[in-house]
Structure 1
């Protein structure tokens, strides 16, 4: 089994994404860093022990990579929004062995002092129209432990997809906060904040 790790807010520009999260949740995000392999950069918000929210965008200071960026960022348009979620696995190879086709290939990654392995799809798209989560295995420190606690917590995550039954069966997760429902592809996260619950 795997555990909830983080939410992904995609944005056309990182500053725009960070400002949107702050406007919705009423708390600031923290500087993250750059991902050399994907030419992306991020900002972060702690959601509790071992859980966080990531705002991510293409990094305009870097040349485009010679392959698709993760989370469909090469195709992203419009306002910042919740586009993906990520599960933490103790054994990424084992998780991938039972994951749906297209979940990605285990890739070694690093950002500053952080080291991890992540399943990266070759086309940047995850199964079930991105309803299936990215899979990650941290090696050492977890980013949430490095972030200030702003008092935000994930209350619930609703994953919508026309093939809700098949998606639910494919998830290596037992978390009462996560619900899969039939409907158009999409994600909705309810976050507890110091100012009350907010919806992403």
Structure 2
């Protein structure tokens, strides 16, 4: 299991996109629509093989009879980093290592991309949304970071804040990445620091 990408949410896609672009200093590429969840996104490919997606509810889609992923139905306020996503080669096997409910494994398709992903019924991930969504990219699917232009930007450090930090750490014991810190804190959230051409910049859920 390893970090795959980050999701920055906004009430409007333009707002989430502007937050990423103004913070990091790079222009995002046009993404697409997720018909199943009524959302749309833009993307930024990083030189370390990760990517960032700006995501929001698609205004052209009426209310669904189930919750959108990333808890977007309940997103209000300024755009911010809301989620991180990890990938694995076998999602069915991967989730057996967790002692928390990460939701159902759904098959999702957008344009030429197809993948499996864990999604909770209420759209909210475990540990107050600080737990990563888990993704398995489909066979022969080209990872977005390989098709996107790569900018001179990479993840420097990811901090996860939660009062039950040891439980979080235990559930993610197979995620061996020195860039990640689990910090015990009554406030819950995630902070990602990136190396950019203009120095280190931060995307935060706080």
Which sections of structure 1, spanning at least 5 residues, go unmatched?
A: none
Find the residue that maps to 1:95 and give its secondary structure.
helix
Match of 1:146 in 2: 147
Distance in 1 (CA, whole Å) between partners of 2:70 and 2:96 is 21
Distance in 1 (CA, whole Å) between partners of 2:67 and 2:120 is 9
After TM superposition, give the deviation of residue 141 of structure 1 in Å: 1.1
Distance in 2 (CA, whole Å) between partners of 1:49 and 1:196 is 16
Match of 2:167 in 1: 166
Q: Is the 8 A contact 1:103 1:121 kept in 2?
A: yes
Match of 1:73 in 2: 72
Distance in 2 (CA, whole Å) between partners of 1:69 and 1:99 is 23
After TM superposition, give the deviation of residue 33 of structure 1 in Å: 0.4
How many residue pairs were aligned? 199
Measured against aligned partners, the alpha-carbon deviations of 1:124-149 in whole angstroms (never above 9, x if no partner) come to 01110011100000012111111111
Find the residue that maps to 2:32 and give its secondary structure.
strand
Distance in 2 (CA, whole Å) between partners of 1:104 and 1:165 is 21
Q: Is the 8 A contact 2:130 2:188 kept in 1?
A: yes
Distance in 2 (CA, whole Å) between partners of 1:82 and 1:114 is 23
Q: Is the 8 A contact 1:49 1:145 kept in 2?
A: no
Find the residue that maps to 1:129 and give its secondary structure.
helix
Match of 1:7 in 2: 6
1:196 equivalent to 2:195? Answer no
Q: Is the 8 A contact 1:44 1:53 kept in 2?
A: yes
After TM superposition, give the deviation of residue 49 of structure 1 in Å: 4.7
1:185 equivalent to 2:169? Answer no
Which sections of structure 2, spanning at least 5 residues, go unmatched?
A: none
Aligned residues: CA RMSD: 1.0
Judge which range, 180-189 or 47-56, deviates more. Answer: 47-56
Q: Is the 8 A contact 1:32 1:42 kept in 2?
A: yes
Once the two structures are superposed, the pairs formed by residues 97-108 of structure 1 within 5 Å of their partners are 97-108=96-107
TM-score by length of 1: 0.97
TM-score by length of 2: 0.94
Once the two structures are superposed, the pairs formed by residues 87-106 of structure 1 within 5 Å of their partners are 87-106=86-105
Distance in 2 (CA, whole Å) between partners of 1:47 and 1:32 is 15
